[in-house]
Chain A
């Protein structure tokens, strides 16, 4: 079966510091990968998605970037964090177009980031 991991689970970082959040998927190959942010009490905001290595689409202009160094690894980064970057970051995967005809996404446990 497929599993998705995120780390760290929680992170407290000062303003202006760098960020690296990691997401890995097991049990599937060539997944579509997604990064979402959920601000406190708010809905989900899609940040990036990737349908393959070196194929990353950005949804919202900001000081964040994403990379996919391996097929099942998705990294969210920032060079300098802002207070507004605080939130709950969720990684997700789907198999659409990769042998599956269903569109659902499966989410990781999330990383809670607090920028102080």
Chain B
């Protein structure tokens, strides 16, 4: 079945460092891809999305490009802030399109 694999965390960075969180997927067909962010004690918020190959989703300085040839959707940010500390989930739309398949999440810790 469809699946999403994310890099193990935690990812620990200093403020203003460059961020990459890797995400690869396995799916039949052409899923849409998403990044969600979860701040401590809260629900998930949609961060960005891409619906077809070569699309780039972006929001709040974060970017991710839908790479069909490498089945990847890596999350990047040029300069992280302490307030970016959270858990980040990669997800894809399952073939029936009624459900999302989530990765296990990657915790990001940014220190001043």
Contact = CB atoms under 8 A, between A and B. Distances in A.
Q: How large is the interface on A (under 10, 10 to 19, 20 to 34, 35 or more residues)?
A: 20 to 34
Interface in A35-51: 42-44, 46, 49, 51
Contact of B102 (A6, A43, A112): A43
A32 B89 contact: no
Contacts, number: 50
B98 A32 contact: yes
B46 A106 contact: yes
Given A32-B98, A43-B89, A97-B97, A110 B43 contact: yes
B49 interface: yes
Contacts of B104: 42-43
A38 to B, nearest CB: 8
B42 interface: yes
A110 B99 contact: no
Nearest to B104: A43
B92 to A, nearest CB: 9
A12 to B, nearest CB: 16
Given A43-B102, A44-B89, A49-B99, A104 B46 contact: yes
B97 A103 contact: yes
B34 interface: yes
A46 B43 contact: no
A90 B42 CA distance: 9
A110 B34 CA distance: 20
13 contacts: A6-B43, A34-B99, A43-B102, A44-B102, A49-B99, A51-B98, A90-B44, A104-B46, A107-B43, A109-B42, A110-B42, A110-B43, A112-B41
Nearest first, the 10 closest Cβ-Cβ pairs linking A and B are A107-B43, A103-B93, A43-B104, A107-B44, A44-B102, A110-B43, A109-B43, A103-B32, A43-B105, A104-B46
